[in-house]
Structure 1
Amino acid sequence: MSATALETSRPVAAKRQVIDCDIHPAMTSWTEVHPYLELRWIEHLQTYGSHLRHAFSEALTHPRMSPDAARVDAYPEEGGPPGSSLDLMRRQHLNPNGIEHGILIPLRWNPGSQRNLDFGVALTRAMNSWQAERWVGQESRLKGSILVAQEDAVGSVDEIEARAGDPRFVQILILPRTDEPLGRRRYWPIFEAAERNNLPIAIHVGGTNGHPSTGGGWPSYYMEEHHAVAESMQAIVVSLIFEGVFERFPRLRFVIMEGGLGWIPSLCARMDRNWERMRGEVPHVRRRPSEYLRESIWFTTQPMEEPERPGQLLELMDRIGWDRLLFSTDYPHWDFDDPRYAFRAPLTGAQKDQLLFGNAQRFYGFP
């Protein structure tokens, strides 16, 4: 639900414990990572800047998304972009919404999409240290995500091993618009390291691989770009399953973030039907595709579809599996889901507790 709709929503319900699986911290400027970068990379930034494979190296993929795709009330009074003030995050979100744990998802400066792979790896290390000291080290409710430069599998594995024993980090973060479909074997060393260290992999909307965001080319409108988010997540799921990732790494867990929910049942049915007819092409996929999805993939709720008939949302959750849904707000973005208003469907207290807290508690192993 867009934050602009809150004033006309129904009265606030009793506060519940909440685990928010999608909070976006921001830097005020590149200089925030300078303490964690070697001098050569500071000079590289100052001289050459960021190099992503699209026209505007510091912009997001559609003009409407710049700057920051954020709530109008999320700009700190002291200056800086939304998400850059821990004090404001506490006052505006963590404290009033009962956030027990918040998972950080840094998006800007996109180290995994840097064309200079050495710089991308260095930037992941710096941004992970920045998360640990600037955010998690100052707010115990927050947890970090290990950024990796996935196009450099060796560098990614090194960073995973360096952070895996640090309880401040609870998952690995990869953005979905990778150079090749994510199930391809070039990425398997990352999956092996994730499974070995019992770390889930979060796939959050984003990435700039230079390819058009839709199968038909670059879109004209933000509406098209926004819809392509769900399409990119479907492509990720299909690639992981049919490339045999879950046969090779049966204990590997993924969480798909901010990709919507309505497409999941239809995709499962389509994959199963085609697998029954053409399974000879993929003998390494030994079970129905929907079984791999059901066992190994979780989904965050924001931005969930909100049908005109609220009961249909309950039917959708039944088909996906209530235990596969993790609550997220997308703070501080404009389509933020306030935990007090997020579910229009008539959920029971037990269902709300499961979605807002219980599922994520089990998934991340929080006490």
Structure 2
Amino acid sequence: MSVRNVNHRQAQQTESDAEREARRQAEIARRAEYERHRSYRLVDADQHYYEPDDCFTRHLESKYADEAIVVRRDQADGLGRLYRAGKRLRHISGPLGERTSPPGALREYFKSHGEVRPDAGGVRAQDHPEYMNDRNARLKVLDEHDLEAILLLPTLGVLVESECCAYKDIDPKVWYALMRSFNRWVEDDWGYGADGRIFASPLVSLYDPELAVVEVERLIAAGAKSAILRAGPAFGRSPADPVFDPFWARAQEANLVIAFHLGDFGYQDTFAREWGYGRSHYPAALASGFEAITCAGDRAMSDTIVALIFGDLFGRFPNLKCMIIELGSVWLPPLLEKMDMIWGRGVRDKVKISEPPSEVYKQHFWISPYYEDPWREIIECVGVDRVVYGSDWPHPEGLPEPLDVLEEIGIVTPDELKLIVRDNTASLLGI
């Protein structure tokens, strides 16, 4: 669980019941006004599936069977538990859709520390084919939600790389075989947007510079429009290290959008250990307060932005496009301000970037704020053409329905609204 917009939540924590109801009525009225001007369907930049048990094994070459990421259901409770090469994974207790909550169950909690919906918990993704891997069922939901298209992202898939690779004790060929198997499952069950509606995003990794290029070339040939790269250091290197230039070159040549998404960034197994944390067996959601603040959420993303910009990645690849999804946005304005200050007083980097970091950022990044974030502040910071909308559906921390964003986005013009909830993401995906 990430640390959300604390300041905004604290401002609403003191609401009385009457004030909360008045706020909700104002949000509903604003939505009605936006609906009067809307003649288009949304393009949602953050939707998810819950993975089936065979997502990492269905296409795994037989010679890697002993190294597989598997789900075991061999205990009395019947619940799945995740293992790799016979060893249980520490950070993820089991398939995340097995015990979940309805979409939007945590909406009021994240907005104002309000109550969690009474129907939270008790949902099995397996009972909802539209959550799992039924394309036709999901397309029906898209129509019901008035969605033109979605960027479709993993749930479990973004939570295993760090644990598998953190100590460099896995053969690179094994890791890329596991990841390739997962991506081929994505291609089977969801696809990369050939229908113009469901644009699934596969995984890429910088664990090995050469094998990273092999997989990204395969994905491009398969039609991928975007790919998810784990934020944070690249296993002892900066992701802007020139050793990875062939990977970035392929992404730029193919106009492949690189997406950074909330996940396990490996900081609990590296940074936290320097402070005496990160050593016990626990699900990631049960991290300590120290780990929640320093190892999750925006911390790794902030570090990655700094590394990519000051490492002059975009000087070498001026047409790269990156998305920041489900990592919030309130941290971004102060980060850009600090980067500009450091740049302005001179730094000792081997390569000097030629313009302020905030300007480099605006040329290469698109960001999806949390629905409870101050949208106007982010729009004014980076420009409305660099803000996208993601509902996080069907996760409980997202919105019940994507169109609920019209109640959350605050005051924007009709033209700004269309850019945020449709046109910006549509352009990135080539719609």
TM-score, normalised with respect to structure 2: 0.70
- Maintained 8 Å contact 1:173/1:204: yes
Q: 1:299 aligns with which of 363, 367, 370?
A: 367
The range that moved more, 268-277 or 49-58, is: 49-58
Return closer, same or farther for 1:144/1:55 CA change in 2, 3 Å cut-off.
closer
Find the aligned partners of 1:225 and 1:121 in 2 and give their Cα distance: 30
The residue that corresponds to 2:84 in the other structure is 50
Query: Is 1:345–2:410 an aligned residue pair?
Result: yes
Distance 1:51 1:137 in 2: 30
Q: What SS is found at the alignment partner of 1:328?
A: coil
**Equivalent residue of 2:256, what SS?**
coil
8 Å contact from structure 2 (residues 130, 137) kept in 1: no
> What CA deviation, in whole Å up to 9, does each residue of 1:282-320 have, x standing for no partner?
54322211111011111123x14435xxxxx32431222
Residue 240 of structure 2 corresponds to 183
Secondary structure, aligned partner of 1:278:
coil
Contact 1:97/1:339, CA 8 A, preserved across alignment? yes
- Work out whether 1:164 is the aligned partner of 2:231: no
Contact 1:83/1:89, CA 8 A, preserved across alignment: yes
How far off is 1:124 after superposition? 1.9
Counterpart amino acid of 2:404?
Answer: Y
Residue 279 of structure 1: how far off its partner (Å):
3.5
Q: Which amino acid aligns with 1:341?
A: D
Report the Cα offset of residue 322 of structure 1. Answer: 0.3
Q: Does the 8 Å contact 2:204/2:228 carry over to 1?
A: yes
Q: 1:19 maps to what in 2?
A: 43
Preserved contact between residue 323 and residue 359 of structure 1 (Cα < 8 Å): yes
- Per the TM alignment, residue 203 of structure 1 is displaced from its structure 2 partner at its CA by 1.0
Alpha-carbon spacing, 1:80–1:95, altered in 2? closer, same or farther (3 Å): closer
Percent of aligned pairs sharing the same letter: 21
Aligned alpha-carbon RMSD (Å): 3.8
Alpha-carbon distance between aligned partners in 1 of 2:86 and 2:315, rounded to the nearest angstrom: 33
Asked whether 1:105 is paired with 2:168, we answer no
Mapped to 2, the partners of 1:361 and 1:151 lie a distance apart of 30
Paired with 1:292 and 1:345, the residues of 2 have a C-alpha distance of 27
| TM-score (normalizing by structure 1) | 0.81
Distance 1:105 1:208 in 2: 16
Letter in 2 for 1:21: A
Unmatched runs of 5 consecutive residues or more in structure 2: 6-20, 73-81, 104-119, 278-286
Quote the residue 2:379 is aligned against: 317
Deviations 1:226-247 (A, max 9, x none): 9841122111100101111111
Query: Are the structure 2 counterparts of residues 97 and 151 from structure 1 closer, same or farther at C-alpha, using a change threshold of 3 Å?
Result: same
Which residue of the partner structure matches residue 392 of structure 2?
Answer: 330
Equivalent residue in structure 1 for 2:300, among 223, 228, 232: 232
Range with bigger deviation, 232-241 or 194-203: 194-203
2:252 is matched with: 195
Question: Structure 1 residue aligned with 2:176, among 99, 110, 121?
Answer: 121
Return 172-181 or 106-115, whichever deviates more. 106-115
- Which residue in the other structure is 1:211 paired with? 270
Residue 213 (structure 2) pairs with residue 154 (structure 1): no
Q: Does 1:142 align with 2:198?
A: yes
**Distance of aligned partners of 1:34 and 1:228 in 2 relative to their CA distance in 1, 3 Å threshold:** closer
Give me the whole-angstrom Cα distance separating, in 2, the residues matched to 1:264 and 1:137. 30
Matches of 2:91 and 2:292 in 1, distance apart?
A: 21
Q: Which runs of 5+ in 1 are unaligned?
A: 308-312
- Structure showing greater radius of gyration is 2
